[in-house]
Amino acid sequence: MSSLVSIRFQAFDLEEMAQAEGRVVIIIPAEGKMGPAARRANRLTRGAVARLVESDRFAKVKPGDVVSLAWPAGMAAEALDVLVLPRRPDTDEARKAGAAIAKCAAGKPVLVMAANQVRTEDLAMGIALRSYDFDAHKTKESDAPGGVVIAHSKHAEVEAEFAPLYAVADGVRMTRDLTNEPANVLTTTAFADRLAEMESLGLTVEVLDEDKLAELGMRTLLSVGQGSDSPSKVVVMHWNGGDKDDAPLALVGKGVVFDTGGISLKPAAGMEDMTMDMGGAGVVAGTMRALAKRKARANVVGLVGLVENMPSGNATRPGDVVRSMKGDTVEIINTDAEGRLVLCDVMWYAQERFNPVGMVDLATLTGAVIIGLGHENAGVFSNNDTFCDAFLKAARAEDEGAWRLPLGKKYDDMLKSRIADMKNVGGRPAGSITAAQFLQRFVKDGTPWIHLDIAGVASVAAETSYAPKGATGWGVRALSRFVADNFE
């Protein structure tokens, strides 16, 4: 498991700049007006900062850019980082500026001379998110990550404002760790064990084994994992931070720890990426961690279906018919469309047991959503405009791309089966939509529901504003904000 970068706040003191090691950050707006920290750095470096501000290079910088002066004279630091940022940035500007600081830091100790900078808590959030590094399986020992010290004239107030953001950043870290782990490490059992460890945070965690799942009638979920030696499990995480009698919000995640496609075997090229097919369960886990650590005043239940989809003599075959927990029969046309078979049983169980005020499911469900939306937006489907709009508002506030796609009867008709109540796929056209239509059949009337297809955003091949390449942790920030704005 990775560790979250240490961020400490202290009183603003100009005398610390000269002897600080690692990197020192000063903040200057684009118009070049120097505050106390910049003027002090300018004196220490014998006018280097003023020369930078007056240069053609500085004239071309944009808000959020960092210009580094290596081995500045008069200072012990190995670099003086000049962050270009308005005095009153918006949330995105402040967080992306923090991410830029973290990227420059590369694990070195950092002193940020924030003075009286507005939105310093968001600056710190950007640092926390972008400082992530997953190196658990590298044999060469990494240098211990340098801590970050932020000097601010109102350090106690900023620290208090940052505390819930830091909790969310820790949830993002957990989601990234889970999504990045190889499948021989993150087995279904290991995954369940990591979730059970969160009882130390105040969550109540239940692990349902295969015997219990069979007793409950979760036959579609069990059909996905029956070709694997790893036992299928459902983990239920309770956070009871609201009134005792309030119905919870339900979060449901697909947790396919490795997806070969089963008998409908995937091509070999790129199959190694299928360690991330548990990304939906990872987001649910990280969100539950964030809610517990920030003591959310709401009742939320997180449920994840943990399976491995493998080919074997016992694996489900194309053409098999399986009865769901709901009682509907499903003709399995393609065993690589397995995530919906996991989700439908867990969604039905969540509604039967908890009668939730609303339900959100997350899954790396279809390649089709990547064709439609690329890696910038998750696909959003919903049966309730008010519920959906509230989530989209939260996602926009957290700069997490999400785009609503349609549902409709014509799409639903594509799932008709000759021998069962439905097929598990509707063909190539509108593949993400027909997958959502399949799931909607397992949503009870009156239950507000959102389906998030995160196949394009859970793990990416290039770095993002807030993460190195690999797992992004997409969704934890948006869901935490969604809970805060609508259920607390």
Residue type present at position 177:
D
Round to whole Å and give the CA distance between 283 and 174.
9
Beta bridge partners of 453: 363, 379
Examine the residue annotation and report whether 108 is marked as an active-site residue of this protein.
no
| 23 is annotated as an active-site residue | no
Choosing from 40, 254, 340, 477, the catalytic residue is 340
Q: Which residue has the tokens 């949503």?
A: 443
Q: Which of 266, 323, 393, 404 is catalytic?
A: 266
- DSSP lists the bridge partners of residue 322 as 330
Q: Which residues are catalytic?
A: 266, 340
